Amino acid sequence: MKPIYLDYNATTPIDPAVARAMLPYIHEHFGNPSSRHAYGVTAWNAVQKARGQIAEMLHCAPEEIVFTSGGTESNNHAIKGIAFANRARGNHIITSVVEHPAVLEVCDYLESHGFRVTRLPVDRHGLVDPRRAEEAITPETILVTIMHANNEVGTIEPIAGIAAIARRHGVPMHTDAAQSIGKIPVRVDELGVDLLSVAGHKLYAPKGVGALYIRSGLTLEKFVHGAGHELNRRAGTENVIHIVGLGEACAMVHRNIERYGEHLRKMRERLEDGLRARFGGLRINGHPSLRLPNTSSAGFRGLKADLVLSRLENVAASAGAACHSDGVVVSAVLNAMDVPSEYAMGTIRFSVGRATTAEEIDRAVEHIAAAVEASTS
């Protein structure tokens, strides 16, 4: 029997409906979208349909969507694009200490090229205080980039409030929404952001495709140079097969987000209730209510997460701490939240998905309990 998959924040399977939408573009409609003959027009129309599907989900204009190779490229394009396009105006960027490496590493890179970066702290729930963001803004600030929801603990950041502050100061706002899309409603008009990153493989589309929302009128330096694809914003022949899949996945989210979110919350609560019944000292990291409906960062006191996972052969999950020869390294997110070390070392992230069943959750609780008990003996 296959292990029970509870690592949907790491990646999701391609939804069968998404796969069906992609098939004609694998076998039949193979044209280059830039070609003017019938084969190219068919491919071009498919790309434009997908662009419209993503725009409908995000509540923006289709021409504000640029296709990328994934969330990492979208983050790189947004942050570097704004930084280098505005270098004559300022060199200061604001982010947070709990961002994904696809943001933090970009900021580190820009620091090595003369930019100044302020990394905002978070509270014990993983929340950025919007007041800290406003206090950090200077006349040299050219970008604020804060993730929409944290990939490890699921905390949902107050993006609309931070974006409103940035807008008052004339500073563009970017958010990495890789983890939130498909779990909670994500609309750029409600968030008030200028740039937003999408990762296909987090929302039941293929790996290797993503999108970047760029508000109309915003100027970015090109990230990939070449021909004038994507309205001259991102060179390279469009990955039609994967773009079609991303479009279909976003259309499904647009139609079904309330149902998806309700199911995810039920499965997560069933998991946490089951674990709490077994372990009275269990700690759930993250905000108690402002949290992704599918994410459970569970801290088992006094244990090492890698040891538990090594004995958890029947459940796929992720550790919040890694064991090395010189000791246990706790994740930067848990450290930033000041999670006590006796819980941080034993933190495991469980993330449920659209296909997760109550029966799987109940079996997973039994397997987790057995692995934890074996790790304490």
Segments making up each domain of the chain, as ranges: 4-11+257-376, 16-253
60 is catalytic: no
pLDDT less than 70: residues of the chain: 321-328, 377
CATH architecture, range 4-11+257-376: Alpha-Beta Complex (3.90)
Tokens of 281: 């000292």
Number of neighbours of residue 256 by Cβ within 10 angstroms: 13
Among residues of the chain, what percentage have pLDDT more than 90? 90
Strands 65-68 and 210-214: antiparallel
Residue in 91, 90, 85 with CA at minimum distance from that of residue 110 = 91
Query: Whole-angstrom Cα distance, residue 299 to residue 277?
Result: 14
The CATH class for the domain spanning 16-253 reads: alpha beta
Residue 231: predicted pLDDT? 81
Q: What is the largest CA-CA distance in the chain?
A: 69
What's residue 322's pLDDT?
A: 54
Question: What is the length of the chain?
Answer: 377
Angle at 339 between CA 145 and CA 99, to 5 degrees: 15
Residue 158 to residue 161: CA distance in whole angstroms: 6
Report which residue type is found at 280.
Answer: G
CB 110, CB 138: distance < 8 Å: no
Q: Which of 189, 151, 196 is nearest to 173 (CA)?
A: 196
The C-alpha atoms of residue 206 and residue 193 are separated, in whole angstroms, by 26
Q: Which residues contact 75 (CB under 8 A, 6 or more apart)?
A: 100, 102, 103, 106, 145, 174, 176, 197
- For the stretch 296-329, pLDDT in tens is 999 999 999 999 999 999 999 998 755 443 456 7
3-state class of 164 per DSSP? helix
pLDDT of residue 377: 66
* pLDDT at position 326: 46
pLDDT at 237: 85
Which listed residue (60, 107, 250, 323) is catalytic? 323
Number of CB atoms found within 10 A of residue 340's CB: 11
**Residue 268 has which token pair?**
């997560």
DSSP string, 69-135: SSHHHHHHHHHHHHHHHSTTT--EEEEETT--HHHHHHHHHHHTTT-EEEEE---TTSPPPHHHHHH
User: What are the Cα distances from residue 351, in Å, to 227, 254, 296, 313?
Assistant: 40, 21, 6, 16
- Global pTM reads 0.95
Q: Output the pLDDT for position 324.
A: 46
Residue 194 has phi, psi (to 5 degrees) of: -100, -25
Contact 77, 232 (CB under 8 A): no
